Amino acid sequence: PVAETFRVIQEAMSEEYVRSTQGVFQFELSGDEGGTWYIDLKTKGGSAGFGKPSVTADVVMSMSSADFVKMFT
């Protein structure tokens, strides 16, 4: 569910979201599909996925994978 959520986020990415948000979010997830994930809405084009973002995160959130999926659905 986490990887699928990030896939959907990546597909929804647009220059408009990047321009209006200007933030990088890092998620430290525990549980199934846990690890470090990110949403970059600062770098041109934006990006989302597994691992650390290419730039320093503005916000770092720690939560369970289940809570992350609930937050985005």
Instruction: Convert the pLDDT of each residue in 9-58 to its tens digit.
Output: 999 999 999 999 999 999 999 999 999 999 999 999 999 999 999 999 99
The pair of three-digit structure tokens given for residue 23, joined into one six-digit string: 């933030």
pTM: 0.93
Question: Are 65 and 29 within 8 A, CB to CB?
Answer: yes
Topology of the domain comprising 1-71: Nonspecific Lipid-transfer Protein; Chain A (3.30.1050)
Q: What is the predicted pLDDT for the residue at 46? A: 95
The pLDDT value given to residue 23: 97
Q: One-letter amino acid identity for 2?
A: V
The pLDDT value recorded for residue 24 is 98
